Structure 1
Amino acid sequence: MPFMTTFLLTLPTLAVIPVLVGPLQTLLALLPAILLGMGSILFAAFKPRGFVKLIRFCWRQKLFLGCVASVLVGWHYGVFAKLFETRRSTSESAATDGTNWSTSGGGPLRLGRGPGELDPTTSAAVWKNDRDETVFSSPAVSGSRVFFATATGMGPFSPEGRGAIVCVEADSGREVWRYAPTDYRATFSSPVVADGCVVCGEGLHQVQDARVTCLDLLGNKKWEFRTKSHVEATAAIADGKVFIGAGADGFYCLALEPTADGQPRVLWHLDGEKYPDCESSPAVSDGVVYFGLGDGGFAICAVDATAGTQRWRIKTPYPVFAPPTVADGKLYVATGNGNYVQSAADLLEMKLQILKDDGATEQQLAAARKRLQPAGEVWCIDLATQHVDWKFAARDAILGNVVRGDDSLYFGSRDGHLYRVSLSGQLLGKQDLREPLVCSPALGQKHLYATTSTGRLFCLDALTLKPVWDASLGGGDTFVSSPVVAHGHVYVGTAQQGLRCLGQPGVPESPLWSRGERGGRVDDEPTPPSLSLAWQYPSESDKPVGVSASLMLFDGAIYAGGRREGRAQLLKLSVDKAASPETRLLWARTFELHPLAGSIGVAPVGSGQRVCVIENHNGIDRGGMLYCLSADDGSTLWTQTLAESSVGPAIDAKQVVVWSGPEQLESFDLTNGVSLWRTTFTGGRVQGAPTIANNLVFAATDKHLAALDAPTGTFLWQVSLDWFTTGGLFVEGRHVVLPHSDEYRLHSIIDGAFQSRRPATEESYDWLKLPQEIPTPSWPPVVYQGRVYFVSSQNAVVCLGADSP
């Protein structure tokens, strides 16, 4: 192989950040030509005649020039002094309350979670600290303080840029102190906080003498240690020691406390020749430190934390840039081709082109394709045996932390997916965020937070991975800071807006009901052991109404569809225990599309403050009307005509999906009723209402079961059915459940493959212990706040409770 090919292929992969060039750097690139022109002007000016004219001009403009000089002097000694200050204050209280953030993600589980019990459930902007506009590092939260490193001033004349370690107040973003000596360079490494110290690496990938810096909690330097390479890894502090990788300079263990004269103490060092490209942040557990080796190393290593001797080393097929995670005797390791600025495909294309330009043989090209194929994996290693229990494959590199929840693992991949995997390596769910994920997710109490490489912050339900909210983090091209959830907010670094704080806690999510005919329990309040009739609607004094569809309990009220005096109606009934028969009915909406022939035969659905209901014609194939009503008063917000009678809608926070024709599934914008998409099912008769879950739409005919992308209506998969369903399908965990005769058939939500079946026993309402005078339910009941609501066989709404009316 020619020397140049060998040299280029042995260069370290650009593991983290390239030098960024913007408009200011472009101007700086033109500076030599500008200075040359100015020099020519000055040379002409300082000829004898020009010099005399210049003196006369300055004298005539002495007042103006004096003001300019005063401003420049003030700016130099004011702004520059502020720009290069090392600390704002040395008297501020540390205010960390002893909370440690000792490693990447805060601890061995890599949760990315700090103090606070509430998750931010809305995307409201809280504050930003943008004195330094670029923050590559991930924040560390300790008590009421947030620590982060910055990266500014990178360009042709300053490829290493400038950086600082900054401490701000968590609730306001106000700067408490900053450590910013004039030679401190733009930094990718993230600070860690433990035992009264703040430790951070320095520099980007091109730096060859980066430092490890240790500060006290007031920003005073305790010691610094200079390595022989870059320090992009985040340190781990454990047992009075600092463990950190230094790129090509190997791996270091330093004492947290310096010598008597303030010098750093190296306890042991693993040479970069044997341990190349130490980029991953280490994990320390039971006297052993675990770390990965990147390009050229391709391994996960276990080293004695005290002596620095190797315990074991397992080769991997791809670089290991991600920090390992330790929990319950298992080590979770993420690997993959690709890096923070290049996907595996981009990296492969670049290196193949280098090989081709250098005249590589086809055999050499084939070997490179095999080694550099797009791939990513998570491994589970048993620490007692060093056996790889299982491997989970993704389609591109996994660069962030593997977060260990109570019963599952979370991680993102450059393939654009956020994954939830069981502790045994089985896929529990994934969400396509449609943009590469190079950062680590953060796990709150019930939500997961993740940032894409193009600067969108997502909040998702931790169980279903259904998006709850998302927010833009501003402009720029490089977002590599991982979010941290603490104090009911999300803290994250950005490309152009510094450190941002977003999200507010405690805001209830919008109500949603899309259960169709299944009924069910709305909350966790137990049902009393014995029940009696609390109320019934209509009462003897009311006009009779025949309820003809199952109930919807939505936002604290009961909705019932039926017919009264020959007209289709939707009723909203109060569930307030104090309501009287006269005040029980909140409103009644009469429909006139099909006078004397219309009916509400399918259950309504609701989201936010909107209720959607379908009025069908009692005749066959006479069409229907989809109404979107205000939940406040039943007024019409919009309508859509349906080509045939519908079997029921599905709803989420943004859209309502309904069979609008014999073979046509259609989505309407919940806000204004505009059609978002239409998808045609070829052949087959509609079988039950569709359902929406995990940002997917599931629908069935007697020929096919299909999953569609909820925002676009695009088919994701479709499987054939050799039987027909006997009711509406629904999603239960990882399965799409289809009723069939006397059983339920379960299909995978991932690809529609048949999984299993279980018996569907006939509904029994013996547990209700109904008094003899109360008719049996016609549809499954709804349970809310310890009360049971159902439609009786006499078509009335019945409420049972422990108390009497």
Structure 2
Amino acid sequence: MPSRRAVLAALTALAGCTDGSPSADSTGSPTRTPTGTGAGAGTETPTWTPTSDAVPVRWRHETPHQVLDAVSVGPGVDGPAVYVGSDGGGAGTDGHAFHALDPADGTERWRVSLPTPVVTEPIYADGESGPRVYVATRRSSDAAELSALDPSRGTRVWGFDAPERRRVYPLGATDRTVFVGTRDDDQSRSGEAVHALAAGDGHERWRAESGDAFPNGGAVRRDTLLVRTPARLRALDVETGEERWRVDSPTVMYGPALDSRGERLFVGYDGTVRAVGVADGHERWRREVDFSISGVLTPRAAASTTVFVADRTGRLLALSPQDGGTRWALSVGGDGVRPHVARTSERLFVGGPGVYALDPVSGERAWSFTPSSVEVRVHASTTAFAAVGRDRIHAFDPADGAERWRFAPGPGLAGPAAAGDVAFVGVEGTVYALDGSPASEVNGT
């Protein structure tokens, strides 16, 4: 399976592979359709089209769906892919499908029809049975199933039905196995299970008792599966399901966040932050904080050397991963806010009631963008993108915060997912690749 570093490098490289300039037969609009011939490319005119003078569009891909509900970027069999899930209309038993697009030009690589919509981001793994993409789909309002897709053929290989009145979440995968957790509405320490399913045919290799699973509540590190449930973190052997160690908490647990080497993890609960060794579960340090923790984070990009602890009133504490010492603190305000972070080589971006660009070493604020009380999600690489609710997305110069453009189609914006200078979003049934590079900067709203 590709390393995270290799995938990030590939995503950054692909973001610069097109220049976003108008095509030869353009009449001044930077919008263009894909040059490939994949299914769905350039087949219909969308109901809504961005203002061409305001937002540079590298490509657009028109799906046969009325609504898109999930847009993400991740590894694929032919390199990084833009994954798109429908929310109804035109394909599959009930009008649903899952698509993989080429990030460079929007050409459709493959499409799998599904009876119900995808509700989780895909997990990709390559192994002895060939490549697999795992997604959970909503079977009904209170149940779900896991689908294993073969991206080399564009087919659904097998499915795993959750027990009655249960949802399922893929927790991680190896070259041989995908790990799935179940959940009902109780969010308890027990009563659920982790299932280890064979990549080839979906048969169960082992099952371990568990509490309720969370989205993004699992990770695989070497031969260890980490599983977070409401008040417990467990380390399981990926081959046998045997428990190696556990961390229990008296209240809801946040994390785990992993250090850049994958040797330590960090969890928080009830005013306490702990660093634990991944291999043995031994505590490395413990730190008490004077607020109610709402998140323990380490940014994925640029190999962060800091642990961030957030609270619900908009505070963010930067800690040393070595000893838990405070490096700096930030307050962005806002009741019920859960700040999140993104990192580049030169900036740290905090999302919450706005976007805050900081020096990652000192915490000094370089610039900020605070449009409203609506939560803002930030995605940063060579361009900083800020998604305001599901209404609009802004592109900023990461150095000084100058706005390059804003894309405001109204309610129903799916995504975004970002790589380098490109943000991928869905509007109605169309996927847009929006160019945020300085060369494409225009003045518009």
- Give the TM-score taking structure 2 as reference length: 0.61
Distance in 2 (CA, whole Å) between partners of 1:422 and 1:292 is: 31
Aligned to 1:528: none
* 2:247 aligned to which of 306, 309, 313: 313
Distance in 2 (CA, whole Å) between partners of 1:186 and 1:421 is: 38
Distance in 2 (CA, whole Å) between partners of 1:107 and 1:324 is: 17
Distance in 2 (CA, whole Å) between partners of 1:301 and 1:381 is: 21
Aligned to 2:113: 180
1:403 aligned to 2:345?
Answer: no
Aligned to 1:467: 403
1:254 aligned to 2:196?
Answer: yes
Are the aligned partners of 1:216 and 1:222 in contact in 2 as well (CA < 8 Å)?
no
Distance in 1 (CA, whole Å) between partners of 2:399 and 2:246 is: 36
Instruction: Tell me by how many angstroms 1:201 deviates.
Output: 1.3
AA of the residue aligned to 1:218? R
* 2:415 aligned to which of 481, 487, 490: 481
Aligned to 2:188: none
1:199 aligned to 2:134?
Answer: yes
Distance in 2 (CA, whole Å) between partners of 1:278 and 1:115 is: 32
Greater relative contact order (CA < 8 Å, ≥ 6 in sequence): 2
Per-residue CA deviations over 1:768-792 (Å, capped at 9, x if unaligned) read xxxxxxxxxxxxxxxxxxxxxxxxx
Are the aligned partners of 2:60 and 2:106 in contact in 1 as well (CA < 8 Å)?
yes
Distance in 1 (CA, whole Å) between partners of 2:264 and 2:214 is: 21
Distance in 2 (CA, whole Å) between partners of 1:314 and 1:107 is: 31
Distance in 2 (CA, whole Å) between partners of 1:203 and 1:324 is: 28
Instruction: Tell me by how many angstroms 1:408 deviates.
Output: 5.2
Distance in 1 (CA, whole Å) between partners of 2:398 and 2:317 is: 21
Inter-CA distance 174–194: structure 2 relative to 1 (3 Å threshold): same
1:116 aligned to 2:14?
Answer: yes
* 2:173 aligned to which of 224, 237, 241: 237
* 2:210 aligned to which of 263, 266, 271: 271
Instruction: Tell me by how many angstroms 1:129 deviates.
Output: 2.6
* 1:165 aligned to which of 95, 98, 104: 98
Are the aligned partners of 1:334 and 1:398 in contact in 2 as well (CA < 8 Å)?
no
1:138 aligned to 2:54?
Answer: no
Aligned to 1:776: none
Instruction: Tell me by how many angstroms 1:333 deviates.
Output: 6.9
Percent of residue pairs identical: 13
AA of the residue aligned to 1:116? L
Aligned to 1:758: none
Inter-CA distance 263–497: structure 2 relative to 1 (3 Å threshold): closer
Normalized per residue, which structure has more helix? 1
1:500 aligned to 2:406?
Answer: no
SS at match of 1:185: coil
Inter-CA distance 411–252: structure 2 relative to 1 (3 Å threshold): farther
Per-residue CA deviations over 1:734-759 (Å, capped at 9, x if unaligned) read xxxxxxxxxxxxxxxxxxxxxxxxxx
Instruction: Tell me by how many angstroms 1:482 deviates.
Output: 3.5
Distance in 2 (CA, whole Å) between partners of 1:426 and 1:451 is: 23
Inter-CA distance 404–324: structure 2 relative to 1 (3 Å threshold): farther
| Cα RMSD (Å) | 4.6
Per-residue CA deviations over 1:159-218 (Å, capped at 9, x if unaligned) read x9753221233344343432224xx21222112323122111112893324224343432
Instruction: Tell me by how many angstroms 1:503 deviates.
Output: 1.5
- Give the TM-score taking structure 1 as reference length: 0.36
- Kindly tell me the number of residue pairs found equivalent between the two proteins: 349
Aligned to 1:434: 372
SS at match of 1:507: helix
Aligned to 2:24: none
* 1:282 aligned to which of 218, 226, 244: 218
Are the aligned partners of 1:283 and 1:291 in contact in 2 as well (CA < 8 Å)?
yes
Instruction: Tell me by how many angstroms 1:131 deviates.
Output: 1.8
Name structure 2 gaps, 5 residues minimum.
21-53, 185-190, 271-291, 295-310
AA of the residue aligned to 1:165? F
Inter-CA distance 435–243: structure 2 relative to 1 (3 Å threshold): farther
Are the aligned partners of 2:253 and 2:268 in contact in 1 as well (CA < 8 Å)?
no
Name structure 1 gaps, 5 residues minimum.
1-97, 154-159, 337-369, 511-652, 655-710, 712-805
Inter-CA distance 283–131: structure 2 relative to 1 (3 Å threshold): same
Inter-CA distance 456–507: structure 2 relative to 1 (3 Å threshold): same
Instruction: Tell me by how many angstroms 1:127 deviates.
Output: 0.5
Aligned to 2:120: 189
Distance in 2 (CA, whole Å) between partners of 1:400 and 1:246 is: 27
* 2:160 aligned to which of 225, 249, 252: 225
Inter-CA distance 278–219: structure 2 relative to 1 (3 Å threshold): same
Are the aligned partners of 2:124 and 2:133 in contact in 1 as well (CA < 8 Å)?
yes
Per-residue CA deviations over 1:112-167 (Å, capped at 9, x if unaligned) read 945425398983122133322333323234426432222226xxxxxx97532212
AA of the residue aligned to 1:192? I
Are the aligned partners of 1:144 and 1:171 in contact in 2 as well (CA < 8 Å)?
no
AA of the residue aligned to 2:125? A
Instruction: Tell me by how many angstroms 1:292 deviates.
Output: 4.6
Per-residue CA deviations over 1:561-583 (Å, capped at 9, x if unaligned) read xxxxxxxxxxxxxxxxxxxxxxx
Alignment of 1:605-616 (within 5 A): none
AA of the residue aligned to 1:485? A
Aligned to 2:38: none
* 1:412 aligned to which of 351, 370, 373: 351
Distance in 2 (CA, whole Å) between partners of 1:316 and 1:108 is: 38
Normalized per residue, which structure has more strand? 2
Inter-CA distance 271–436: structure 2 relative to 1 (3 Å threshold): same
Per-residue CA deviations over 1:417-468 (Å, capped at 9, x if unaligned) read 22445656835454324263365x3332x32223221321222233444433
AA of the residue aligned to 1:190? E
Distance in 1 (CA, whole Å) between partners of 2:362 and 2:242 is: 31
Return the index of the structure with the highest Cα Rg: 1
Aligned to 1:24: none
Alignment of 1:316-355 (within 5 A): 320=254, 324=257, 326-328=259-261, 331=265
SS at match of 1:147: strand
Are the aligned partners of 2:73 and 2:417 in contact in 1 as well (CA < 8 Å)?
no
